[in-house]
Structure formats: structure tokens, C-alpha cells
Amino acid sequence: ISGCIVTFRSRHTYARNGTSTELDYIYISCEYESAVVASAIWLNSITTSDHEGAPVTVLQCQCGAGIARALHDVTPIKVVNTRQKTKAVIAEFTCYTVQLLVRGSITLLDDIDVDTSSQSQILQWLEDVIANMYSCLHNSAKQLWGESNQSQHLARAVCIKRSNRCSAQSRQLKTLIKLLDVT
């Protein structure tokens, strides 16, 4: 490859969300060398970021081009966290979901006729069905186990850390007051 200043083969295997990923090659073009250096891109952050199923990464930093901090046109899917659930709890969840389906509290989408539908209609139906399935599972879990809000968990964790730090500082201050014999 002409104009390459850095090209190396280094296998980095890591797992994210249960998906093992390998990043084999990283190329940095000399055309973008100053932009890469100026933006302080660490190769470690490249190899550990999301490159799901991409064995080759090419760094191209356009002059003046902004790097998106968030994905656009992506609808997040609310998930049901089942990592720490036992088989009995999952069985209860399954029975509860079936009861909700029977009562009509949650509904699945109707099938479409594949023979008379176009390819784009089938793809749109598949996307809608998957989104509906996730929504049904999330609503069932929410009704059975209660709402699980990640931002509330994070806020609670920050509050706990702050209160622990304040408690530790308070204990340290009491110790200093005793040492200095201040009343």
C-alpha cells in the first residue's frame, strides 16, 4: 500500500457483550499522520473500541472533520438483563409472559404473506417484529420485576461513592481534631 507510514499485524482478541472480536490490521495513511498525532488517538483505544467483526481498521482523519460522539438514526432497544437470573426465575418470567399474551396485555405482530410481499416490505416487517418482540419482553420483565433504569443505577452508585467519601473525610477530620485537641 503506497503512502502508509504505519502498518502492522497484531492480533487483539477481546470480548464485548459475549461477542469475541479480533482486530488484525491497522493502517495509518501518511496523508492523515498529523491529524492522527494531533488528535492523540491511542492505538489501545482503537483495538478495544467497537470493531465488531471488522478484521481491518483504516484510520482516516479528514482536516476539519468532526468525529461523531453519538450514533444517529439508531433506535436503542431496551433489554432484559438475565445474567444473574436462575432457571426458576426465567421459568417464572416465561409463564408470566405467556399469561400477558393470553390476556392481551402484550401482543405480537401478525404474519405477512411472503409470496405477495416485496423484499422491502418483508425487511420492514422483520425489523418491526424484532422491535415488537423486545418491547414485549421488556414490558413483561418490567411488570414482573419492576422498572430497571440504568441512569438511576448510575446516579445511585455516584451518590454512594460521594457519601462514602464524605464519611471518610468526616472520620479523618474527627481524628485530626482529636490529635490537635481542638474544641
DSSP 20-59: EEEEEEEEEEGGGHHHHHHTT--HHHHHHS--TT-SEEEE
What is the predicted pLDDT for the residue at 44? Answer: 42
Measured CA to CA, the distance from residue 120 to residue 117 in angstroms comes to: 8
- β-strand pairing of 56-59 with 4-16: unpaired
What is the predicted pLDDT for the residue at 68? Answer: 46
Cα–Cα separations (whole angstroms), residue 19 to 8, 32, 83: 24, 31, 15
Provide the whole-model pTM. Answer: 0.41
Other Cβ atoms within 10 Å of 175 Cβ, number: 10
Measured CA to CA, the distance from residue 136 to residue 106 in angstroms comes to: 6
Q: What does the pLDDT profile of the chain (183 residues) look like in tens digits?
A: 344 444 444 444 545 555 555 544 455 555 555 555 554 444 444 444 444 444 444 444 454 444 444 445 555 556 666 777 788 888 898 899 999 999 999 999 898 888 898 988 888 888 888 888 888 888 888 888 776 555 555 556 666 666 666 677 777 777 777 777 655
**What's the full length of the chain, in residues?**
183
Domain boundaries, the chain: 4-59, 87-145
What is the predicted pLDDT for the residue at 65? Answer: 47
What is the predicted pLDDT for the residue at 19? Answer: 54
